Structure 1
Amino acid sequence: MPPPKADPAFLRLVKSGDSTVYNEGLGACGPFKVSLYENTTPADGDTPPKFVLVDQKTVLALCGKDDGVLYPSSEDVSFNWTPNSGGKHLLKVVADSENVTIETNETNNDDFANVTVALPDLKPKLEVPEKVYKNKLTNVSVDITNNESEGTGDFQVTLLENCSSPDENNDMNFTIIGTQRVQGLLENSTSKIKFNWTPSTNGEHVLRVFVDSLGEVTESNETNNNDTKTIDVEKEKMHLYNTEMFPSTSDPNGYSAATYYYEADEPVYLNPGARTPTFVFKTTDPVYSDVGFQAWYPYGAIWLSFSNSSDGPWTSAFSNPYVYCGANTSEYEVAHWASGSGYYKYFKVHIRTKPTLGSSGLLKTFIEGFEIK
């Protein structure tokens, strides 16, 4: 910083750089104050500067030429300044800022400097897999870029979800999925972090990520700290890959039982403690019959089994594995409540009449679809 100059009687003060005061006068001086100020008005060239005191130091004494010193005496002065924004800042330094020294020239005690402050600029980018399924663990990645030539300290990143309101601009509609700490980010660099997310419902979800969510980093741009993505969460789709039909001995044109084999797009998470998922059995419209003496006969009872192989072995999903089909009912929903916990990809749906009838039973309804809700 170019030196501000003071010219008192018998002494002259010169500020060199931002830390050294010289006495080139004839006599000693001191103590006196040296002050640093910052302009707080916009740097638009039209608004008059308004300087606010940043820091102030005391110089106790400086020798002058009358004291026999060959060269003017000096003292280093250091100021503490924490800029609150990036870009250009106008600083002013004033020697003898409280005007306690008698000077020959009171007009040259200050000097100015334009200082460009480099600040970091954090910007996130959300990355979500192309396919996201209900009740399936999903990895959500966040690329965080610091676009400036200044590094950061530690900061927090927060991932939020909105699945209850179409107003994605209202932060009150979001709930926190998770937070992570980032141990600083170097200048002009990028870091990747990952969150785990398991959506509990299918349909449209909005994810939003905030970097520096606690406001710990002063940045050159505070408006680009979030990124938002809308994701269509799918329910696991079931694909029929095999069917077994069991003829009825009582009717050559009918069946006593049928088994349907389904494969899910993605492994389905079975959690009996939470009674999830809900299985949906879609049947043909039953035709009423008064034959039989059980509520579910002759329309059928359903057994559900699961496996991680298309060929089994199969494990029963219900400890009392009956889903009773009623007359003229085409869809049955059953929450997973009994046996089976974990991820499974293959499911076997078996429908039959009263077991004691064996192959002589005659089904009045059949499975035409199986879904996870």
Structure 2
Amino acid sequence: MMIKGRIARIRHTASWLLLLAAFVALGLALPARSALPQALPDLVVTGISVRPASAQLGQPVTLQATIANQGNAAAGYFYVLFRVDKKIAGAPQVNGLAAGAQTTVQTLWIVTAGRHTLSVEADSSQSVVESNENNNKLSRTLEFSGDLALLSVELSPANPLPGEATTVTATITNSGARDIKKRFAVQFLDGRRAFTTRFISGLAVGARQVVQASWTPQAGEHVLRVMLDPFNVISESSELNNMETKLIDVSTSRPDGADLQVTQLSLAPVPATAGQAETLTAIVRNHGSGASGPFTVRFQVEGQTLANRAVSPGLKPGTQVTLQVPWTASAGERVIRVHADPEGQVVEPDELDNVLSRVVQVGPPLNACGDYVFYQLNKADMDLLDTLTGLTSEAVRDLFLPGMRHVMEREYQGVNIRFTFKEPPRARSTIRFSTEDRRPILGLAPIGAQHGTAQVFLGSFADFSSLRFAPLDRLEMIIGTVASHELGHLLGLNHTSKDNPNDIMSANADLAIFSLSGLPSFTSASLKQLERELPLACSR
């Protein structure tokens, strides 16, 4: 038995030696018994972005790339190459990247017209040995939009008389990075009334075009506005430079050098407290070179006229007048405004300094049982309100919106709520105004989501032709009541009727609201629910 085992082992050894000899003869190497893969980095471009995404011709933008090391070893230093249309835009250095880590690199590029290809390559100099060298590049297309912009708006004559034929000249350009090939409109408005609409067949990058309109103004103060692409046909890199507004006084006299300015607006005593008698004081100065005729000074609080004060026979150059008006304040955020010559009796070179406003916080502060409601608007929302109301941006901010708040305060009378355009110091419900058009829907809000967000769709209002010439106080009431309805949902109220314009929480209120005959109200049950949730008397 032992001899047979030895013979078997000899035969096995001989076979192994013959196999080894064959490998050597053929120039082959034996496989390693425990070979391990080599640890190497693997650099990948995972993302490319451009900031800002909407840039104009000749403007610098930041090209940004994210580089990840998805290998199992750290990478030493390497370069990241940015190319735009095969031209090098930059090559920032990365001083190393650990396995599993990522980093962001960037470079600047000046926008040029047309469509471009942006490519980014990690380790462009191939200084890092990687497990995969075929995944180091990423590309994307850059295509910036055209951008219509108003360069100037001029009148001839510059100060027209009532009924005098006047030419309004607007100079426009395409300051974007792409030719505009679609037809678009240029609209001329006097307040809310469009008196001329011109159509332009297109505009190349950097090109300018003069557009004119005839205007015959009547006596008084006019808000003259020129709008580019009012029907939103053109996709632009910026929509914020499509409108220019001028405040024009049309009077029977030509300018005589007078220039009125409200230089000061104050109140006393301070701090202001609800129910306390306050005195508003305004100083109006003529800082022009000629004497003014008689004019009026108007004091307003929350969009409501408090008093008019006559200045007669007017002001000589370099002189001023001090005017005072009594006011009994109510608690909350209040906008006080003084307007010299609101009827436009005095023709001036600068009408914008005829107004001075200030925001006053009237005590006592909101107690612990109350709730703040924050109005949230951006520049686009304000521009849409300018068009919808026919007012200047200042008048929308300091007259129309406070007037809308006044509507809501009357509708929520007896409920412990403070409405504010300034970020409140604690948790609040938010009413978000939007340019979105959701016709026939005017607003939306979740039920019972206190400290949530309700939406009011200004774009829906703008497209209702019946609102274009509605009195501004009625427009304040309609928008304010829609906001009150949506806020009621946030505070837990359900619909309490159907198609009833006099009930704030009526179902289908978005349609019934246009038949309002007076200020609507909550039902007694809804009002009691709000008063229980937000009581004025507070023991906390």
TM-score, normalized by the shorter chain, greater than 0.5: no
Q: With structure 2 as the length reference, what TM-score do the two structures score?
A: 0.26
Q: In proportion to residue count, which structure has more strand?
A: 1
Based on CA coordinates, which of the two structures has the bigger radius of gyration?
Answer: 1
